[in-house]
Amino acid sequence: MAFNLKTRVWQTGALDWWGMIDGEDIYLGSREFPLPPEEGDAWHVRKTGDLFKIVDGEIVKVGNQPKAEEFPW
C-alpha cells in the first residue's frame, strides 16, 4: 500500500490493519483504520482499546481506553 506515511502498514487477508511501531507489529484495527490515512487522523481500536493518531507522518499510540461494551442485541 502506498500511503504517505513513515510507519510501515499492511492489511491481512482478514482485512485487519497492522503497523510496525517501535520495532513491534501492532494491531491498528479493522474498520476503525482511516482510509486513506491522513495527517491528524485519530482512531480507537475496539478490540484492544488502543488509541492512535497520525503525527508528522507517523502512526503513534497515544493511549488506551477500555473497550466499549457491545450492545446486548
Residue 35, amino acid? L
E strands in 1-73:
8-11, 17-21, 24-29, 42-44, 50-55, 58-64
Find cell 491522513 and name the residue: 38
The pLDDT, as a whole number, for residue 16 is 96
Return the exposure string of 32-47: e unless at least 16 CB atoms fall within 10 Å of the residue's CB, then b.
ebeeebeeeeebbbee
Encode pLDDT of 44-69 as tens digits: 998 999 999 999 999 999 999 886 66
Distance from C-alpha of 13 to C-alpha of 65, rounded to nearest angstrom: 27
The pLDDT, as a whole number, for residue 70 is 60
